[in-house]
Structure 1
Amino acid sequence: MVQQDIIDSLPAHLRPFVKKQEYGRYTPRDQAVWRFVMKHLTLQLADSAHPVYLDGLARTGIALDHIPSIEEMNECLAQLGWRAVVVDGFIPPAIFMEFQALKVLVIALDMRSVEHVFYTPAPDIVHESAGHAPFIVDIDYSEFLQRFGEVGMKAVATREDLEQYEAIRRLSILKECSSSSEQEIADAEAELERLANSEQPPSEAALLTRLHWWTVEYGLVGEPEDYRIFGAGILSSLGESRHCLNDKAVQKLPLTVDAVKTPYDITREQPQLFVTKSCKHLSQVLEEFAESMCFKRGGAASLRTAIAAASICTARYDSGMQVSGVFSEVLCDAVGNATYLRTTGPTQLAYGDSEIFGHGVAYHGEGFGSPIGHIKDFSRCLSEYTIDELAAHNIEIGKLARLEYLSGITVEGKLEQVFRQNQRNLILSFSDCTVRDLAGNVLFDPAWGNYDLAAGSAIESVYGGVADRTALQLYKPTPRTETLSTKQDEQLMACYALVDQLRNGESSEGPDAQEALNAALANYPEEWLLRAEMLDIASDSLRKRLYIELRELGDTHPSLRELTALAIDPEYPFAQSA
């Protein structure tokens, strides 16, 4: 499928997060990094990954010899009911989850640099495509992943969560960019550490992120004594995919919902991992956690969670009315039932996830408040009464009306309008209206303007974000950081391109080619990856020289020792672990 067709099919508020993959921007060295990583990953994972992995790579359009194009992937994913789009690095977690709920894989646009072959601090196309995509071919896993998106987009996130996302994104960009200064990175690390060390209890969104980490990203399947890898973070990391097999260094625990108690550190290898019995088991654990979330529980406790979060959340009445804003107050009766809610600042009223005309943030710019509960002498919820039935209770448009709630809250004023949809009352609008609680405290004064009352007897759900995401967009894409663009050495790129052409038989292997290869080695004496690429096409004499130079590079530069050893002997990691 064409990239633009996929983008056009998305909800309008998600489209700004999607970029276009300009395939020609991947350099010959980017392609070499892909080949090196994928060659050694598939060797390392042949026995340790779940059997679905290798089959899944091929069935989702991911080749080992070149970076996949988004068109290649979508042609294959369409057969599985999924789509893929490319994005620029980290996107807000709620947006990521919404894509997943729509069965859209988000693929990071960039390719990890040669300096970060073993581990990249920023999302890259290796992790997002070769890590996440292969298991989509398993129907149970595919359904689990989509359901995780549906649950995740409902999680209540705190203001601190949003700040932490911004800090992680900034740090990942700085670390991946070669032109970033040590001071810039240190400052960004300090800010992230400050946010991570908050004494506030983790939010729903933070706990769910932990569950995502220990399953989708770093999950194992089987038994603690006999397991296989399926987590994308392990599958896309040469270092982690080997380290996790060390049972002395990495504890293996059976997966339960208690995994959300375990925080993680993205900057180091994990000291423990969780093992699920099956994809069905993953879904069971997810649903067990979901049952504890505010979107399932509703009520006063969930409203208090939203108030503590200090972020925009949505409360849905049992009538279907939705109130989205920053919740600031909930009043309760003696047995804990919510009787009145209030927001501060811009608020949206919606029904069925669609903003009610005239009741967006422009109109409710300073907040919103409304009772919750049944009205005295009403046998059903206020929303369920017909206009004639309301009139029988002296509630008529154009006349003074008085509503007395069982909680003792009273609403008294001139009824100007009743907004109805799907044969139910949703909003009753009053002029010259006074609202008081049981103690006589004024909850709304006529001097504040007209009063809009949301009809509903209970709050059945509270969740993060807004009801109508097209009308009110909370998250804006972060502009691409200019420092990401590092100037390339064109002559070096030409050397990588020549090696690739020789591999594919597109160039002659005569004296001119040999001379060019020798010149490349002389001009770039520390380019280990170029030497690793040449091994695929080298004559016996050249291969001997390459081995010597790779060993010397490993001896001279300890940071390259493992990479050069791997280039010389693909069995190196297995010999080491043995």
Structure 2
Amino acid sequence: MSQQELIASLPAHLRQFVKLQDYNQYTPRDHAVWRFLLLSLASHMAQHAHPVYLEGLRKTGISLDQIPSIDDMNQCLQRIGWQAVVVDGFIPPAIFMEFQARKILVIALDMRSVHHMLYTPAPDIVHESAGHAPFIVDVDYAEFLQRFGEIGMKALSTASDYAVYEAIRHLSIVKESPRSTEQDIAQAESHLQQALATNSQEKPSEASLLSRLHWWTVEYGLVGEVDNYKIFGAGLLSSLGEGVNCTDDTRVRKLPLTVDAINTPYDITREQPQLFVTKSCKHLTQVLETFAHGMAYRKGGAGSLRKAIECQTVNTAVYNSGLQISGKFVRVLTDAMDNVIYLGTEGPTQLAWGNRELHGHSTDYHAEGFGSPVGKIKDMPRCLSEYTIDEMKAVGIAVGQPVVLDFVSGVRVTGQLDHIERRDHKNILFSFSQCRVTGPVKPDGAEGDVLFDPAWGNYDMAVGDRIVSVFGGTADKDRYRLYQHAPAEQTQRVHHSTEEALLFALYQELRDLRNAGQANEAALAAVLDKLSDYPEEWLLRFEILELLPPDSAMAGELRNGLVSLQTLSPEHERLIQTGIERLGR
């Protein structure tokens, strides 16, 4: 399946985030950066990564020599039931999780620059492809990753969670942009700190806690025993800096993985002071399911609705009849045993069943909100949703007739029953005209609160005696989109100067010589001579050194020149030293 075919097969709310990979956008130097990183990482990870890593690189179509083509990767991934799409940088966490649930890897389109080889603040194709893809060849890990997506897309999140996401995305774009000034970066960093400070004042949401578990497993996980472990986290696999440093037990503590890892926050701008070790991929799934067991989508009930209210975001409540209410929940009434007896939303609300919006019950129709009782009807032992049309007629509940519904909770609904919506042999929605809804009688004997008045229009009553699930986002995500458009701020493309274009031509010349088997000393000397106009260009000089006989005079001079370039910055020192050690010179 080509990129275009895969994109066309996606639902619209996901399709808007997907880009097309233009392979020609990668410069010859981009490919050289990829090659240096992957060869260095493979050399290190052969000893420190789980054995599946190197096998996975081969089986997922990832070459050590050049940036992967997404079409080529997909030909390999489809054999193991997965696919990949490319996106522009960070995308909303819930969208990321939904892709993962669909067994689709999300891969950032851009390649990190030569100036950010050890660490890039933005997602890039090194991290997303060479970090995440290799381990999905392991069946247990692939099932864990998909399950994480299924659970993650249901997590409740807050408005401040999203503000943090937007601030991180903005900072990553600013830091990677060649046009950004120090002031731009400082302002973006300050904005992120403000967003984080606001977020830290709240009780962590399900999504926030789950992101920690994702960080300590998928991104920065170790597998094995605390004193005998291997790397499998994508963040470590794709980092020459932290991927090496994490194996030093004197500077990075190793802890056994339990669900308590959610209590440990992380800082994306710094190397982690501790990492967690899982016993196996099956153990990962056990820890994930332990967390999921306490989530609102599994527990339902009043506590879950209160969580949704605290989030102040759009979420979905599911009745045991299957009816789904998607909106911003602002109200939940309960009885003395904390059973839900009434719920309410404000603002645009969608009614759905089976994740498909009910005809006539869009956010346009329920633009101001929705409210409905929850519970059993007096003298009717089964849930109202389970009764047949004839059974209801026998107790005076019939379309076209005035109906009185007295709930066990004390809620009363009276009005003309105009329509009964049924799905899968169940009643899921009653529609009334001239309807009045009141709450339970007050302790002092006064009439209960008016929950709906006939003057407000027609009334739609959800049918069901329990709220069995509350999950993040909407039921029909295409008809009620939380993200109407992909982020307006896009990663800024670099416009290369004439001088850079000439340098890239030298990278290509060297690659052509290597591929053609014509990289003899004379040809390499000719390329090196042209580098005189680029005295600080270390990477191309290193690629020349790779191709020279170790005992040649030219190799010795080139090596000494590279050692002198190490003084340019700590990053130059680390990278050049890594390369020289890999060559054994």
TM-score norm. by structure 1 comes to 0.96
Task: List aligned pairs for 1:438-517, cutoff 5 A.
Answer: 438-439=440-441, 440-475=448-483, 476-481=485-490, 483-488=492-497, 489-505=500-516, 514-517=525-528
- The equivalent of 1:416 in structure 2 is 418
The equivalent of 2:81 in structure 1 is 81
Which letter maps to 1:501? D
Larger displacement relative to structure 2 (389-398 or 330-339): 389-398
Distance 1:201 1:172 in 2: 26
Partners of 1:226 and 1:219 in 2: CA distance: 13
Matched position secondary structure for 2:336: coil
Partner Cα separation in structure 2 for residue 229 and residue 571 of structure 1:
23
Change (3 A) 1:16 1:507: farther
d(CA) in 1 for partners of 2:422 and 2:568? 77
CA contact (8 A) 1:427 1:452 kept: yes
Q: What is the match of residue 445 of structure 2?
A: none
- CA distance 1:510–1:570, change in 2 (3 Å): closer
2:557 to 545, 566, 569: 545
The 10-residue stretch of structure 1 (308-317 or 492-501) with the greater mean CA deviation from structure 2? 492-501
Q: Which moved more, 1:379-388 or 1:534-543?
A: 534-543
CA apart distance, 1:565: 1.7
In the other structure, the counterpart of 1:37 is 37
> What's the CA shift string for 1:124-157, capped at 9, x where partnerless?
1111111011111111111111100000000001
Q: Work out the percentage of aligned pairs sharing the same amino acid.
A: 57
Deviates more, 1:448-457 or 1:554-563: 554-563
State the SS of the aligned residue for 2:348. strand
Matched with 2:218 is 216
Does 199-208 or 557-566 show the bigger shift? 557-566
Cα distance, 1:184 vs. partner?
1.4
RMSD: 1.6
Cross-structure match for 1:566: 578
Count of residues in correspondence between the two structures: 572
Deviation at 1:334, TM superposition (A): 0.8
CA distance in 1, matches of 2:341, 2:259: 33
* Deviation (angstroms), 1:472: 1.3
The correspondence for 1:263, drawn from 258, 262, 265, is 265
Aligned to 1:307: 309
Match of 1:8 in 2: 8
- How far did residue 11 of structure 1 move? 2.2
The more displaced of 324-333 and 483-492 is: 483-492
- What SS does structure 2 have at the residue aligned with 1:536? helix
CA drift at 1:380: 1.0
Taking the aligned partners of 1:167 and 1:486, their CA distance within structure 2 comes to 25
Contact kept, 8 Å, 2:402 with 2:417, in 1: the verdict is yes
Residue among 526, 534, 538 paired with 1:528: 538
Deviates more, 1:184-193 or 1:114-123: 184-193
Amino acid at match of 2:138: D
Unpaired runs of 5+ in structure 2? 442-447
Instruction: Give me the whole-angstrom Cα distance separating, in 1, the residues matched to 2:440 and 2:97.
Output: 42
2:370 is paired with a residue whose SS is: strand
Q: Is the 1:180–1:483 Cα contact (8 Å) retained in structure 2?
A: no
Deviation of 1:510 after TM superposition, in Å, equals 8.4
Asked if structure 1 preserves the Cα contact closer than 8 Å seen for 2:546 and 2:583, the reply is: no
Whether 1:355 aligns to 2:366 is no
Local SS of the residue matching 1:438: coil
Distance in 2 separating the partners of 1:298 and 1:319: 13
1: CA distance, partners of 2:352 / 2:480: 11
| Counterpart-to-counterpart distance in 2, 1:261 and 1:556 | 40
Matches within 5 A, 1:23-62: 23-62=23-62
- How far did residue 509 of structure 1 move? 5.2
Using the alignment, how far apart are the partners of 1:556 and 1:167 within structure 2?
A: 31
Question: Given the alignment of the two structures, is residue 64 of structure 1 paired with residue 67 of structure 2, yes or no?
Answer: no
Corresponding residue SS for 2:84: strand
C-alpha distance in 1, partners of 2:177/2:476?
37
Cα shift at 1:341: 0.3
> Normalized against structure 2, the TM-score is what?
0.95
306-315 vs 397-406, which deviates more? 397-406
Structure 1's unaligned 5+ residue stretches are none
Whole-angstrom CA distance in 2 between matches of 1:463 and 1:568:
52
Per-residue deviation, 1:555: 2.5
**Residues 482 and 567 (structure 1), Cα distance of their counterparts in 2 relative to 1, 3 Å cut:** closer
Q: Which residue of 1 aligns with 2:433?
A: 431
CA distance in 2, matches of 1:450, 1:543: 85
Amino acid at match of 2:490: T
